[in-house]
A and B are shown apart, each in its own frame.
Chain A
Amino acid sequence: MKIAIPVDSNNENTDVCVSFGRAPYFLIHDTESKKNVFILNEAANAQGGAGIKAAQTVADSKAEVLLTPRCGENAAEVINTANIKVYKSEKGAAKSNIEAFEKGKLSELKEIQPGMHGNNAG
């Protein structure tokens, strides 16, 4: 099974990124092979709809689980439609979050943020 996590940088010791849509990379961890793949998040600098595009990237990676500190409503709609389960990540290293998830210590992400909907971009 593949796990996706928004991360700050493309190395094994990276922290989880505080943002989902605007995270610079996604770490895709394969629980069977234990391999990590980093995907560049093209939505990081998107004019709008970053959450949708980021969620599309995660869905395209064939991840079945997403560990993230937060998730906007548009991203959640894509993620849910793609049947990806979302768990709330803890502050700190992506690595320790994967361990916590595998031990069943992370809970499902319930709170969904209302979207910015271009309010910032105007």
Chain B
Amino acid sequence: MRIAVLSGKGGTGKTLVAVNLACVADYAQYIDCDAEEPNGHLFFKPQNTEEKIINRLIPVIDETKCDLCRKCVDFCRFNALALIGNKIKVFDKICHSCGGCKIVCPQNAITEKEKRIGKVISGTSENVRVETGIMEVGESSAVPVISALLADKIDVETVIIDCPPGSACSVMESIKDADYCVLVAEPTLFGVHNLNMVYELVKAFKKPHGVILNKCVEGIDIAENYCKEKQLKVISRIKFDKELGKLNSDGEIVSRVNAGYKAMFADTLKSIKEEVSHETASDS
């Protein structure tokens, strides 16, 4: 079962939820797709780490074969190629590695070279296999790193996908194969705005979903009311708690050091799994 954890902005508690859900499973794979600034590993401190380089393909023009017909330039919808003077110029950072220019070239003047765009670090932390995606400095899109991260599927019952913040392409890539999406939000007006963004996204992707409200305080019901209005299931409410904040900022995994939180996250994971099996049953 693949559970993606998303939020409309950073700092809502995505990693807190994702890390702890992984910890309370019997055995889990935790995948940190926030490749711009992955931080799950700071909590897990994985052991026996291995590193895998991720490359993508960038076109290379053979000037001896190119007759400047500019079919590649016109084809590229991302405008990664330009014809200037008597040369085709390739903009590596703009290229989305679709390979289309190579296909449309009538002179077979285009080959591809590998460009390093990031890496995946894998390791273990007790009952969790930790996979971390890290983008190369200067790269503009996390999508190819995420796609490589998620392609490497291992046979475990619980997979927790820690998504990048927001609702852009990198998040879409992260939730593509998810069975369930957990939307983490703060109970404030700003929190609701961001929750709405990810809610619209998972709706568009037709993903079963539920909400976890974090930093809840008595008397602030804006997000709660929003969930009622949209008929969103609130799977769990995490109270605003200084002790939790302290443990978290010390890099501790709360469900590993605090029995109360361990029970709470175990309940949450159980509820999610019930939701998924319910969804699967109603699908068939």
Contact = CB atoms under 8 A, between A and B. Distances in A.
B79 A46 contact: yes
Interface string B68-82: 000001001111101
Contacts of B76: 49
Interface stretch (A75-83, A89-97, A98-106): A75-83
Contacts of A119: 140
Contacts of B91: 49, 52, 74, 77
Interface of B is mostly: loop
Contact of A52 (B79, B87, B170): B79
Contact of A77 (B89, B141, B169): B89
B80 A49 contact: yes
A115 B140 CA distance: 10
A73 B215 CA distance: 42
A52 B82 contact: yes
A118 B141 CA distance: 7
A53 interface: yes
B82 A56 contact: yes
Given A77-B89, A81-B84, A56 B73 contact: yes
A47 B77 contact: yes
A55 B79 CA distance: 11
A78 B170 contact: no
Interface in A28-65: 43, 46-50, 52-53, 55-56, 59
B168 interface: yes
Interface residues of B, number: 22
B217 interface: no
Interface in B138-168: 140-141, 166, 168
B73 A117 contact: no
Nearest to A43: B79
B79 A49 contact: yes
B83 interface: yes
B94 A78 contact: no
A82 B84 contact: yes
Nearest to A59: B84
B168 A122 contact: yes
A52 B80 contact: yes
Contacts of B73: 56
Interface in B163-203: 166, 168-170, 172
A48 B79 CA distance: 7
A100 B166 CA distance: 46
B84 A78 contact: yes
Contacts of B79: 43, 46, 48-50, 52-53, 56
B219 interface: no
Interface of B: 73, 76-80, 82-85, 87, 89, 91, 93-94, 140-141, 166, 168-170, 172
16 contacts: A46-B78, A47-B77, A48-B94, A49-B79, A52-B94, A53-B79, A59-B82, A77-B89, A78-B89, A81-B85, A82-B84, A118-B78, A121-B168, A122-B141, A122-B166, A122-B172
Interface of A: 43, 46-50, 52-53, 55-56, 59, 74, 77-78, 81-83, 115, 117-119, 121-122
In the A-B complex, the 7 residue pairs with the smallest Cβ-Cβ separation, listed nearest first, are A122-B168, A49-B79, A117-B140, A122-B169, A53-B79, A49-B94, A81-B84
